[in-house]
Structure formats: structure tokens, C-alpha cells
Amino acid sequence: MPAVPKLCFPSSFLCATQAERDALRRALQLLVERLRTSLHITFAILLARRHMNGNRHAEAAESFIRTNGVHFMLNGNPLFVNGFNAYWLMNMASDPSQRDKVSTAFKEASINGLTVARTWAFNDGGSNALQYSPGSYNEQMFKGLDFVICEARRYGIRLILSLVNNYDNFGGKKQYVQWAKNQGENIGSDDEFFSNSVVKGYYKNHVKTLITRYNAQTGVAYMNDPTIFAWELMNEPRCPSDASGRTIQAWITEMAAHVKSIDSNHLVEAGLEGFYGPSSSSGLQTNPGFQLGTDFISNNQISGIDFATLHTYPDQMLTNSSDQSQLQFLNNTLDAHIRDSSNILNKPLLVTEFGKTCKDPGYNCSKRDDLFQAVYSKIYDSARTGGAAAGSLFWQLLVEGMDSLKDGYEVLLNETPTTARIISSQSRRLGLLSQLHSK
């Protein structure tokens, strides 16, 4: 601010001479002019900043994410991610009376600096399905997804869209297998989702239908919309009937290539939880007791997979263990996956799910805050030193009025100020790190 002239008031204004009064009047006029100028400058700066922020959001919506080694790239600059899961967005948006919850979620996320959301682009079978039967779609549900994409763009948030579920919720591989059985296919296990040619044809058709969908609100095909960060082949693929990993390895290879053959704009990831398999026996200690047909190393070495993912829930992996033991397990898990993503895969690592349930005995918010802080510290330390950890997405964001979706892992930002502060702090320092590396 420009220097303000010093005002010298006489001991009694009424007794002041005319010259003193004139001097005071001139000083006051000068003060008013300089304050007015200062306010104009301040307003101009704020307007410029708002314009630049608007340009950044437009830039975020108009440029596709790329990878370069262990980094996500946006317009040639490294990008670090702080985000959230909200699987429910499409379902909620398909009901116009509930759409405000989608907007509120994006607004609250944006206020806290979150820039990526992971959500379901599937709901197979049932009365409120996206896909009633193979190739038969619910336009109202599709319009809900259209709305989600528009709102995400509005708030400067990108989307990871998952294409099918491993589990029965929202249909999943079980529903695909049942559709094939209804057509006379002799299928013995839901794991044949990954190998049966008819089932794979259903999945490929869904992928093509979704990727080539024209958004009813924008007229832009999903495959041409940079609001989409990446396609996820499946939420947590598992094939316990083939612990060798060959079945899922072949499926990921085939389906990643299928997505890329339709859409060369977007990144693709497999949706893996991060379990180690036969290709890395030394890593098996990070997933004790879990042999589910996936392999963090070999699955992510597939050329059509652009980045690795990890889901980590120490309270599920080490039930009945102390909080300290769970945090130590978490740190070891993160260290192993960050190291292998850097040294073996040479691809970015995104922790696409993590959290702590409030349903455990003795839970309090500080315990969840400790876990969030542990994840965020590992991510930041890796990012600032050139490592593969590029960001994380907590499970899960809800807003007021969604009690029926509470699963114990929910985060309501307006109701948990300590957690919100930790999330915002991570957003700020990753944002500053991105700016520091910008050209």
C-alpha cells in the first residue's frame, strides 16, 4: 500500500488557523485519493487472481492427463493428486431431487482443495440399473452420470470412472455371469467372468457404450472429455480360483488394449488393491493370507496400464491389532509399493482407497486423523523427492443427509474439522509442489 501522509491535528480544531485547516483538508483529500487508489489496485489483483483461477479450472478441464515415468503430467508439468471416493454420485444424480448432494459434495471437496474423485460408472441389473441387461441401458441413470461429469468440471475436479464391480453390489461380475447363464452358457464359477468369451463380450460392449457416450448436457463424448482423469477396468478385481495370476493377467491385458483401441485420450488403470503375487514372493508379507489371483508387479507391467493403484485398510488387514501395529503395517505397505512403483514399474502410484472405520471399539477421530496423516506424509515425502507416489483418495466422502450410506469410513468435511484441516493441508502442499515444478 502507498505511504499514507501523517496527519498533525492541532490541539483544538476550533482554535486552528485557516492555514492549519486548509493543510488538514488537503491531507485528508490526499489520504482519500491514496486509499481509493489502493482499493482499486487490491480489487484488480483479486480480479486477476480470480481470472487466473478460472483459467486453471478451464485448463484442468481442457487438457488430458498424461504420464512421464513416475509422474502424472498436465500440460508438461508434474501433477500431484489429493482426492476422494464417492461411489454414489451417479445413482444420486439420477434422481433430480437428490442432485444437490452431488453439487454439495463437489463444492465441499473443492473448498478443501480436492481435485480428483473416484466413482462408479456401473450399476448392472435390477430396477435402478444403468445397464438393465447386456446392451440395454437406463437413460435416466446415464443422464445422472452426465450431470456428475458436468458438476465435476464446474468445480475443477476430475473423475476416475470404474467400469464394473468385482463384488455383487451394483451387479458386478456375478450379474454378468448370470446374464451369460441365462443365454445357455455353461459357467461354473463367477471367476469365469474373466475368461468366458460371451461374458467378455458383454463387458467390452459396456466399455464401448460408456466411452462413446455423448453427454446430454454438453454434447461432448466421454472419450473426448478431459474431465475424466482415467478409466478403471474393475473395482478390486479378484480371481481366487487361479492363484497363479494368469487369468487376471490375461484379462487386464485384453481389456486395457480394448479401452485404448477406442479411447487414446485417457489413462487406464486396473483397479487393483495392490496384493503381491508370484512375481514378487518377497512382497507377499505385505498382504498376509491374501492370495486372490492378482499380482501388483506383473499386472501393472502391462503396457496398457498407465499407473499403479493401492487400496489400504490396516484395520481390515490386521483385525484385533493395536493402532500402532496397524500404522506400522500401513507405513511398510506404502514404502514397498512406492519403492516398487519407482524401481520396477517406473509408473505413478495412486493410493485410490484408504481409511479407518469408526465402528471399531475405542475409535475416536484422532485415530483416523493419525492414519490420514501417515498416508499423506508418505505421499508428500515421495512426491517432493521425485518418487512414484503421486497422490491418494480417501474412502469415502459423504454430505449431510446421507445416513443410509454410512459404512463407518465416511468423512463429512463440515462435521469433522480436524480431519478437514489435515485434508486441506495436504491439498495445499501438493498444490505448491506442483507449482514449484511448473515450467
Q: Which residues are catalytic?
A: 236, 353
DSSP 305-362: --SEEEEE-HHHHTTT--HHHHHHHHHHHHHHHHHHIIIII-S-EEEEEE---TTSTT
| Separation between Cα atoms, residue 116 and residue 228, nearest integer Å | 9
* Distance, CA of 439 to CA of 435 (rounded, Å): 8
Beta strands, E only, 124-279: 131-133, 136-137, 158-162, 228-232, 267-269
Cell triple for 420: 478437514
Of the candidates 32, 15, 161, 28, the residue with the CA atom closest to the CA atom of residue 86: 161
**Unique residue bearing C-alpha cell 473443492:** 110
Distance of alpha carbon 231 from alpha carbon 154, whole angstroms: 20
**Residue 23: is it exposed, middle or buried by C-beta count within 10 angstroms (0-12/13-18/19+)?**
middle
> CB–CB of 91/130 below 8 Å?
no
Query: Cell 480431519 identifies what position?
Result: 419
